Structure formats: structure tokens, C-alpha cells
Amino acid sequence: MLSKTQIEETMLNSGMAVDSQPPIPTDRNFYEMGLDSLDVFNVFVELESLTGIQVPDDDLEKLQTIDSIHAYFAAKGS
């Protein structure tokens, strides 16, 4: 199962441009932290590669915190 720590590490390793230092607050909205759409896209490319689970574009709008990503992938079985 994908952990919140793995999501955070993926975010930090994806080259995201964010002012937040680890640990990243799990309930904080990515856009409030300074991420842009390219940052978020890169994170999901990495997470999809890591888990093998494709995230439809319609679902991306709902996934704007580490908590929401963790719950989403847990529900999908990863």
C-alpha cells in the first residue's frame, strides 16, 4: 500500500517547486503551498509509475492534499 511518506518523497523527488520543507503537511492544499499544475502533473506521473494505477483527469481535481491522494490510492488497492 502506498504510504503518506512515499507520497511525500515522490513529491520531493519530482522536482516540484514548493516552499514547504519536509515534512509536508498532509492536509495542506498543494496550490496553497505554491505548486503549479506542472508540479502536480509530475507528482502523478511518478505515483502512477510507482503504483501502476492510472488516475483519470477528472479525479485529479479532487486530489489536492497528501491525505486525499493516500485515501484515493488506498481505495484503488495500492
pLDDT for the residue 66: 95
State how far the Cα of 70 lies from the Cα of 48, in Å rounded to an integer: 13
Looking at residue 37, which CATH number applies to its domain? Answer: 1.10.1200.10
- Total of domains in the chain: 1
User: If you compute the radius of gyration of the chain from its CA atoms, what whole number of angstroms results?
Assistant: 11
pLDDT in tens, 23-35: 888 999 988 888 8
Q: Are 55 and 75 in contact (CB under 8 A)?
A: no
- Cis omega before residue 23 (within 30°)? yes
What's the grid cell of residue 15? 522536482
pLDDT in tens, 33-56: 888 888 889 999 999 999 999 999
Range of the domain at 55: 4-75
